[in-house]
Amino acid sequence: MALIQKEANGWDGLDHTVILLSNPTYYMSNDIPYVFHQDTNFLYLCGFQEPDSILVLQSIPGKALPSHKSMLFVPRRDPSRELWDGPRSGTDGAIALTGVDEAYTIEEFRHLVAKLKGESNIVWYDLAKPVHAELHSDYLQPLTEIKARNKNHIQHIRHLVQNLRLIKSPAEIERMKIAGRVTAEAFTETMFASKSPVDEAFLYAKFEFECRARGADILAYPPVVAGGNRSNTLHYVKNNQLIKDGELVLLDGGCESACYVSDITRTWPVNGRFTKPQAELYQAVLDIQKSCLSLCSPGISLENVYSLMLSLIGQKLKDLGVLKSSITESHFFKAVRKYCPHHVGHYLGMDVHDTPDISRSLPLQPGMVITIEPGIYIPEDDMGAPERFRGIGVRIEDDVLITEGAPLILSADCPKEIYDIEQICGRKS
């Protein structure tokens, strides 16, 4: 509400109401639900882990912002549904679990909506992308139409919540450290279990097992487990092919632990030994990543790091003979982006691509968590590249906490030096 106080400068004397919707339950087929996963903006502000709910933060008449009261509107207790879906918290449970000031059944939300139609009420709600389509159509859509006619337009709230989420608290950082450590250990065990040939599906299953066995709730996203030339497909998630002897595997995976996620990528030879061309390309990416990591400090932006990454990749590609040393400056960055078409990184937190509306040009601040993930991808049909590199894709990604001093690598326990990877892959069980 303090952020709304800043945004609402000039709106003195008006009441402010913030509305956030939970996620619904999504269904795989007919009445078979997917595992429920809460909307992260809603979860960040109240911690309530049940579907079909509404959070309201409301200014208190006669008191200045940021003074406010908090309310949850939740599904009523229903023994017949709870038999199938599990227990509901109900209104009493919602207060006990979250500490909100008041809780009501979801049907009672319509009484609040009726009070918000007047011009003295400013409503903050994300109507462009409703999180819960049914709650929106039942309760919020009529309100937004009335507000539009009165020229008292709904104000967007998403960007304000993302600004809060961008800087992690000490408690959030501790949770992200755990997610990073769990994922690093899962990577190590997956490397150890590698053999040649090996199914991508086996490595996928091994990675997920090792994450869950260490206390992870779920995987943070469908992982990429890409063998050989498939590593040059950036969002390859079929993970159903055989990785042959002599091929690399690129595994991009992370876990969610206590609502916070990790996002790590490693590339290694399934037979335990890099070939000379593989090692050359891998070491080039590792050198680039280390240079990018060293730049991660307050005042530098992800865009700054991205510019450095492109320059370093271009120089390495020249050194390796992939790009001609005579390439003109006007063609240089276009050529580099052909071999690394993605950004150097993104923000990380409760979501993998966290706070997506925050510009990557924003100077980094202590408490931000980002990824640094340079890669070089040379498809097998790229006749312009030296033959020895064709079909090789390498990405190395770590999770980074920005501090007042040197960056803290949350995924530091995950091996990435060639010697360490070959030692792990060569271990005997």
Where in the sequence numbering do the catalytic residues fall? 31, 235, 252, 263, 342, 346, 353, 373, 377, 395, 397
CA dihedral (127, 131, 136, 140) in degrees, to 10, reads: -40
Is there a contact between 348 and 255 (Cβ–Cβ < 8 Å)? no
Identity of the residue numbered 338: K
Residue 155 DSSP class: B
Question: What is the spatial distance between Cα 134 and Cα 21, in angstroms, rounded to a whole number?
Answer: 10
Is there a contact between 259 and 175 (Cβ–Cβ < 8 Å)? yes
Question: What is the spatial distance between Cα 267 and Cα 310, in angstroms, rounded to a whole number?
Answer: 20
Burial label for 410, CB within 10 Å (0-12, 13-18, 19+), is buried
Paired strand residues for 58: 17, 69
Between the alpha carbon of residue 42 and those of residues 23, 51, 140, 161, 260, the distances in Å are 8, 11, 16, 9, 14
Structure tokens at 349: 């937190």
Question: What is the spatial distance between Cα 309 and Cα 343, in angstroms, rounded to a whole number?
Answer: 9
